[in-house]
Amino acid sequence: MSDVSSSAELSHRLDPAAAQRVRQRLLAAQPAPWLHEEIGRRMVERLAVIRQTPASVLLWPGDDGPLAPELRAACPAATFQRVVEHRPPAGDGRPWWSRWRGEAPPRELAPEAALAGQTALLWSVMRLHGEADPRALLAAWRRALAPDGFVMYATLGPGSLPQLRTLYARQGWGPALALPVDMHDLGDMMVEAGFADPVMDQEQLHLTYSSPEALLEELRGLGANTAPGRFSGLRTPRWRAELLAGLHRLADAQGRLHLTLEVVYGHAFRAPDKGPAVSADTRIALDDMKSMLRRRPPGGA
């Protein structure tokens, strides 16, 4: 279990304003990051564990993945909707769902409009690690699901970017990223949010780059540092030169740089609504108790 478990700790895990800026930048960047598309494909392969074919799919978020054709092929009869959390400025290019050749694009919904309990499958690619309040987002997902619906998602895990985190710690540069929530804690949060028997697993992706510049460009395309303790000012050219030199020292004998990403996958069914609470104790008014005692026969048990 990780130490990031209480609501107070979770609220300080990342900077919400910085996380929103990252979401808006990723939305404006077309096409979607390649990693989101690749993870979406891997999630489609996991759909085989679900015997029920969903009649409706809600993409949350619906602005940066997954790659639509694979999911469409896995759910050929489903209706698709997508949650739009942030809208990019006009003229930022065609949205990712424009690649649905020959198909109508998914209907757009605001987050609050999605909570109608009508969705058979809620699908989320690489969204949860950027949420300042993951418990609230999981609860919203549960409210969006029909009684027999289920959720499938992928998110980054806390084992991500150990090479960069070590370099930052050695140089005294503060945290390199907002540490994602551990998968065991996510499983506990899902149960708290009203999901039944969540199944969690993870895998590590090992990425290779030809130069420090290519590595940094890739990281910028995938997100940004949203840790509250990150350096808040503008970095100088001297600092960037030190960063590039530090990354060069991490290269292998062939001059290649390696980064590790931990990807956490989760799925669960929506648990039934709980009935009204039943008190474990029985309460009888004092006057009623006196009346009962007066009516007891002598020597009665």
Burial of 88 from C-beta contacts in 10 A (0-12 / 13-18 / 19+): middle
Average of per-residue pLDDT across 225-254: 90
Provide DSSP, the chain.
--S--SHHHHHTSS-HHHHHHHHHHHHHSSS--HHHHHHHHHHHHHGGG--SPPSEEEESS-SS---HHHHHHHSTT-EEEEE-SS-PPTTS---GGGG-TTSPPPEEE-GGGG-SS-EEEEEEES-GGG-S-HHHHHHHHHHHEEEEEEEEEEEE-TTS-HHHHHHHHHHT---SSPPPPPHHHHHHHHHHHTEEEEEEEEEEEEEEESSHHHHHHHHHHH-----TTS--SPPPHHHHHHHHHHHHHT--TTS-EEEEEEEEEEEEEEPPPP-----SS----HHHHHHHHHHSPTT--
Range ranked top by mean pLDDT from 204-208, 283-287, 292-296: 204-208
pLDDT band at 196 (very low <50, low <70, confident <90, very high): very high
Nearest residue to 263 (alpha-carbon basis) of 151, 183, 176, 167: 183
Which pLDDT band holds residue 18 (cuts at 50, 70, 90)?
A: confident
Q: Which amino acid is at 161?
A: L
Confidence of residue 63 (pLDDT cuts 50, 70, 90): low
pTM equals: 0.81
Q: How far apart are CA 258 and CA 215, in angstroms?
A: 9
> For 266-276, what is each residue's pLDDT tens digit?
999 999 887 55
Amino acid at 146: A
274 Cα distance to chain centroid: 25
pLDDT top residue among 160 and 87: 160
How many residues can be counted in the chain? 301
CA dist 182 and 10 (Å) reads: 11
CA distance linking residue 275 with residue 114, whole number of Å: 24
Q: Is the pLDDT of residue 286 over 80?
A: no
106 against 232, higher pLDDT: 106
User: What does the pLDDT average to over 213-227?
Assistant: 89
**Which residues contact residue 137 at a Cβ distance below 8 angstroms, ignoring those fewer than 6 apart?**
127, 128, 131
Judge whether residue 45 has pLDDT over 50.
yes
**43 vs 21 pLDDT, higher one:** 43
pLDDT of 81-98, one tens digit each?
A: 999 876 655 544 444 444
pLDDT for residue 280 is more than 50: no
Mean pLDDT of 114-139: 93
User: What are the Cα distances from residue 268, in Å, to 105, 125, 141, 166, 241?
Assistant: 27, 15, 11, 34, 46
Q: What pLDDT, on the 0 to 100 scale, is given for residue 98?
A: 47
As a whole-number percent, the residues of the chain with pLDDT over 70 amount to 78
Alpha carbon distance 115, 110 (integer Å)? 9
Angle at 66 between CA 61 and CA 72, to 5 degrees: 115
